[in-house]
Amino acid sequence: MKIIHVPCLEDNYSYVIIDEATKEGAVVDPAEPEKVVQVAKENGINLKSVLTTHHHWDHAGGNDKIKQLLSLGSDINILCLHTPCHTKGHISYYVTGKEEEDPAVFTGDTLFIAGCGKFFEGTAEQMYQSLCVTLGSLPKPTQVYCGHEYTVKNLQFALTVEPDNAKTVQKLSWAQHQRQAGLPTIPSTIEEEWQINPFMRVDLPELQERVGCKSPVEALREIRQRKDNWRG
């Protein structure tokens, strides 16, 4: 299985998932379908499926232009995970090869690298379940492909919550170099998110104490409020 980033709009990513054995593929969140189709043509891929994480126009806006929604190649498995909060019906897609190799998850606007989506249609309780239970239970090597290039800002904010987190400091330096070179910072892994993402680290007593809270959900709500008001 191969995954190709397709930058679109201002800071969005679409993704093309390729079954290298059959040369069939799926596209995740085709906001600019012309770009996706061009990438498929350049790689000799027959697009067979469209996977949409949620209804916001910058993720679902290109669906009407991609009509052929057939089954994906037989060597790729897709599991739909309900990850509500940013939107009520938000779906993340857990994708593996035929033998469950090369695990990847496409998280839309629920889980970002070192961040999470705003609580537009849900609660802190729902986001905790989506991040720390549903997505957090995936295998640690699972690669995380999110919907936007927010990594640098997210890491800068994460350091306001955990200024002594050496993993976050290291990741920020790397991400800044990536962006300066015009390269994506995506993917990360589930294991790495447990290390650098303050929204997934709310079970830690020391983090709860740092933000003045006594439970994971309370800490998650507090950190999201801080992020919403942050102007870094």
Active site residue 58: yes
Q: Contact, 112 vs 151, CB < 8 A?
A: yes
Active site residue 148: yes
For residue 132, give the nearest of 189, 201, 76, 51 by alpha carbon: 201
| Dihedral angle sign, alpha carbons of residues 40, 45, 46, 51 | negative
- Boundaries of domain holding 135: 2-229
Counting the structural domains of the chain, the total is 1
At 146-181, the pLDDT tens digits run: 999 999 999 999 999 999 999 999 999 999 999 999
Active site residue 177: no
Give strand pairing partners of 145. Answer: 106
Helix (H) or strand (E) holding 18: strand 12-19
At 26-58, the pLDDT tens digits run: 889 888 878 888 888 899 988 888 888 876 655
Residue 145 has φ and ψ, to the nearest 5°, of -115, 110
Active site residue 86: yes
pTM to 2 decimals? 0.77
Catalytic residue among 5, 58, 75, 164: 58
CA dist 131 and 225 (Å) reads 17
The per-residue pLDDT for 48 is 80
Active site residue 54: yes
The per-residue pLDDT for 58 is 56
DSSP assignment of 140-174 equals TT-EEEESB--HHHHHHHHHHH-TT-HHHHHHHHH
Active site residue 29: no
CA dist 48 and 52 (Å) reads 14
The per-residue pLDDT for 167 is 99
User: In CATH, what number is assigned to the domain containing residue 28?
Assistant: 3.60.15.10
Mean of per-residue pLDDT scores for the chain: 90
How far from the centroid of its chain's Cα atoms is residue 29's Cα?
12
Helix (H, G, I), strand (E, B) or coil at 127: helix
